[in-house]
Amino acid sequence: MARPLRFRYAPGSWSEDRLRSEVFDPLNENLGATMNEPWYRPPSGYDAVRFEVANGDTALFAWTDGDDGPDGTDGGPGGYWLGNTETPSSLWRTEKYGFTEVPYPVSRWAERELLAQLREESPWLTEYDHLAWFFLPVFLSKDGRETTRSFFIDHAAGFPDTTADDALQHYESVLSTGALDDYREEMAGKLGTSEHLDLTRMTAAMGEFNVAKLLIDAGYEITPEIEVTTGHSIDFPG
C-alpha cells in the first residue's frame, strides 16, 4: 500500500534533456505518458513540467540551479518529484520529504497544481477549501485517491443518517480553525491510502477529528500523538 503523497528530492544538476532521458522516457515506455507545461507558473528560479500518464496518474517535477533544499540538506542544484504514479528507477534512491520539509515555494506551487486537479476531478470539493487542502496527500495518493474521496461523498465520512454535505461542512468547520494544520500529514494519513474502502477503520480515524472539534470549542489547545514514557503515543492528552 502506497503512503500519502511525498516529495522525492534528487540533488544535482537537472536539465530538460536529463529529465526526458531519466524520467519521462522510462515512464512513457512503461505506462504511456506525456510531458506538458504545468498548469501554474513555477516559482521564480525553478523550471517545471507536469506528467500526464495514460492510466490517469499524474506527476510533477520541478528543478533549480540552487535553493536551500529540503530540511536537513545542504541545498544547491536539485529536482523535486511528486506524483501518484510509479517512480522511475533513476529516482529510487532519493529521499522522501513531506510538504513542510521542502522549500515553501515548491510546496505551494505543487499544492496549487494538485488542488486544481482535485477540484476538476471532484467538483464537490470546491466548497470545502480547507478540507481539500488538508486531505490532499491522501485524496491524490496512488492507491487511496478513489477510496478516500468516496468515503466523504458516498458514505458521509462515516456519519449515519446524515448527508454528505452536512458531514463535509462539519469537517470543514473543524479544519478551518487551523488547529490541526501543523499535524496535517500525520492526521490526514490516518484516513489511509488503501484501494480497499474500510468504512469501519476510516470512520474510527475520523473520530479523532470529532474529538478535536469538541476540545477546540471548549477552548483547549490540542497536540495529536504525544509520546509517553512507555514509548506509545496518545491522542489529545489532557
Residue 53 lies in a domain: yes
Of 176, 221, 211, the closest CA to residue 190 belongs to 211
Tell me: do 11 and 101 sit in the same domain.
yes
Local confidence pLDDT in tens for the 238 residues of the chain? 568 999 999 999 999 999 999 999 999 999 999 999 999 999 999 999 999 999 999 999 999 999 999 999 999 999 999 999 999 999 999 999 999 999 999 999 999 999 999 999 999 999 999 999 999 999 999 999 999 999 999 999 999 999 999 999 999 999 999 999 999 999 999 998 889 999 999 999 999 999 988 998 898 888 876 554 444 343 544 4
Tell me: do 129 and 112 sit in the same domain.
no
Tell me: do 38 and 129 sit in the same domain.
no
Tell me: do 17 and 105 sit in the same domain.
yes
Of 157, 158, 181, the closest CA to residue 168 belongs to 157
Tell me: do 95 and 158 sit in the same domain.
no
Tell me: do 59 and 81 sit in the same domain.
yes
Tell me: do 112 and 140 sit in the same domain.
no
pLDDT of residue 224: 76
Cell of 160: 449515519
How many Cα neighbours within 13 Å face the side chain of 106?
31
Residue 98 lies in a domain: yes
Domain that holds residue 89: 7-116
pTM of structure:
0.91
